[in-house]
Chains A and B, each alone.
Chain A
Amino acid sequence: MSILVDENSRVIIQGITGHQGMFHAKAMLGFGTKVVAGVTPGKAGETVHGVPVFDSVHGAVKSTDADTSMILVPAPFALDASFEAIDAGIGLIVIITERIPFHDAIRIVAYARQKGTTIIGPNCPGVISPGKCKVGIMPSGIFEQGTVGVVSRSGTLTYEIVNAITESGLGQSTCVGIGGDPIIGSNIVEVLKMFEGDEETESIVIVGEIGGTAEENAAEHVKGMRKSVYAYIAGRTAPPGKRMGHAGAIIARGKGTAESKIAALNEAGVDVAKHPAEIAELIKGG
């Protein structure tokens, strides 16, 4: 097992004929992901690294039985692309695109809930189950198959943490980059529930950051969990009121600070690492 994706996932890439699309299609194929189709309106009949391109998600699903989509289209088209994938019955949509207006994200999530589709992202590095499947843009080389589940709000910081886990000799069951935007399809608690039900996952790492109350809510949920949970929170030294690069990282109203998140997690019995490499030591110390 693993969560969200595995060796049987049949993946399409929306926006496969773009520069990013072609690059990541190749990387995903190289990883062993079953990339069964690409979708770019108007480009049906073309192929990208041997993968057939379709005009519509409906067409791609009909011909290939795809169940998962990765969206790499520019932000102004992401709402439409997401609705199309949801409407075509795709069960898991990973939205990599950044800078999607959050009013669009709210609509995407609402429609997905109505149709029972799981959304990861937007503005995220994707999902990877090492040894099985990668639906995302993360550097494959740092991942190793193992038993640690990782759920993260931050892109490059995920790599930092994963690298530390791998270098310490442990590996990952699945790593889910949920994205740092204010509105995301799946939050930490929802991913924790998936990990809780996954036999392959023995321990879980939450990579959080300042802003919002997702980590505080996760801490509440952890109290009822059987598996060991560890965490790292970025932004301990961020000054109040300043934005750190993206909309998800705002400190406001005394909530959502690194201190409040760390306190809530500690109270729930979660060991919180002071720096990324310490995560591996904590897991090993068990």
Chain B
Amino acid sequence: MKFHEYKAKELFGDYGIPVPRGVLATSGKDIKGLDYPVVVKAQVLIGGRKKAGGVKFADSPEEASRAVDEIIGMDIRGYEVRQVLVEERAEISKEYYLGITIDREERAPLLMTSAEGGVEIESVPDDKILKRHIPPFSVLPSYVLRDASKFLGLAKEEGKAFSAIARAMFRLFEKEDAELVEINPLVLTSKGEFVAVDAKLTSDDSALYRHKELQGMEQDLTPLEREAKSKGIAFIQLDGDIGVIANGAGLTMATLDMISLKGGKGGVFLDLGGTDDPEKVKEAFRLMKKAKPSVIFLNIFGGITKCDSVAQGVKEVLDEEGIDVAVVARIKGVNEDEAKQILRDAGFVAVSSLERAAEETVRLRG
């Protein structure tokens, strides 16, 4: 789960990481008690805010108020801006990058830092980024921090302040079950103090059960994606027109790939997961219908999943509320013959071969 910048900064503050003073605003009237100049930043969970005009600077309350009203309601790559963060501007002497994430291959946390802060870290060459693994079950070791301070060219006092921030970040990383904690830029002010001017935090959805305070936090999703999430269905809207329902993320991706190989384009990715509960299948079809695909491709490889239970769910949707587009079903595995019969009787195409089903899907879409 990605955190909005303002929310990440609240948490950063709780862990003792210095952040600028700021207020969350939905209109120009909300700005109070700040020293000028300020920066007004759109709170959306997508990169490239600045380029899209979602970040503005202001030297007076009037300018700030105007900037807030300009940014609220703005559409940034499909996401509507509903709130802005108005913050006092730090006086920048130098900008750094500091992040902690996981290294999948090493199965260990990884600290990354660079003196080339303030730009996209992807564009910084590898030799300008220091990467150090942090031993699991550990604190952030002092030798790593000494290395980092040296690499960044920090003076002694600066190094101490930097180390305190890095340690706080690692505590946050562990305690909040984070996937990524990132400050870019970490600003060194002309007074010699560090401030986290931006804050990125992504936490692990699987660990939400031990972070009750984070449950139900707002996410930037399309309305249909939001509805799917509330029902526990993995659902992603894509650019094409063919709706794909399959069981398992890998198989769903493979199905989309097969459709593309046959000249079609996927419009919805819907992963049923391991369920064959007809109620969940019905829910999946209801969601799919709302996305208005030109044709629905159902790909079930039943291992534990019973194919006929899935087919029963599809039939019930058809009987109760109708399906106004063609359905092509590729059914394989446990109780496949019964499942195919149910679907054929309902007027759908039902075959065993993935390739043939994909061809048929693309043909039916016209």
Shortest Cβ distance from B273 into A: residue: A245
Q: A154-B248, A182-B102, A244-B253 are in contact. Are A103 and B207 (CB under 8 A)?
A: yes
8 Å CB interface, B229-266 against A: 234, 236, 238-239, 246-254, 256-261, 265-266
**A254–B302 CA distance with the chains assembled, in angstroms:** 34
Contact assessment for B206 and A237 in the assembled complex, using a CB-CB cutoff below 8 Å: no
Per a CB cutoff under 8 Å, which of B234, B250, B252 touches A180?
B250
8 Å CB interface, B103-156 against A: 104-105, 107-109, 122, 136-137
Contacts of A138 in B (CB 8 A): 303
**A210–B174 CA distance with the chains assembled, in angstroms:** 26
The smallest C-beta distance from B291 to any residue of chain A, in angstroms, reads 15
**A139–B333 CA distance with the chains assembled, in angstroms:** 8
Q: Which bracket fits the contact residues of A? A: 35 or more
Contact assessment for A277 and B254 in the assembled complex, using a CB-CB cutoff below 8 Å: no
Contacts of A156 in B (CB 8 A): 246-248, 250-251, 301, 303
Contacts of A209 in B (CB 8 A): 249-250, 253
8 Å CB interface, A231-263 against B: 232, 234-239, 242-247, 249, 253-254
Q: A160-B354, A242-B236 are in contact. Are A109 and B105 (CB under 8 A)?
A: no
With an 8 A cutoff between CB atoms, is A76 at the interface?
Answer: yes
8 Å CB interface, A202-246 against B: 207, 209-210, 212-214, 217, 232, 234-239, 242-246
With an 8 A cutoff between CB atoms, is A191 at the interface?
Answer: no
Q: A153-B250, A235-B257 are in contact. Are A110 and B303 (CB under 8 A)?
A: no
How many A-B pairs have beta carbons closer than 8 Å: the answer is 162
Contact assessment for B108 and A276 in the assembled complex, using a CB-CB cutoff below 8 Å: no
B interface SS class? mixed
Contact assessment for B303 and A183 in the assembled complex, using a CB-CB cutoff below 8 Å: no
**A212–B246 CA distance with the chains assembled, in angstroms:** 23
8 Å CB interface, B250-291 against A: 250-254, 256-261, 265-266, 269, 271, 273
Residues of A within 8 A of B (CB): 75-76, 99-107, 109-110, 125, 137-139, 142, 153-160, 163, 180, 182-183, 187, 207, 209-210, 212-214, 217, 232, 234-239, 242-247, 249, 253-254, 274-277
Please name the 4 residue pairs, one residue from A and one from B, whose CB atoms are nearest each other, closest first. A154-B250, A156-B248, A245-B249, A157-B250
Residues of B within 8 A of A (CB): 102, 104-105, 107-109, 122, 136-137, 174, 177, 179, 204-207, 209-210, 234, 236, 238-239, 246-254, 256-261, 265-266, 269, 271, 273, 301-304, 332-334, 353-355
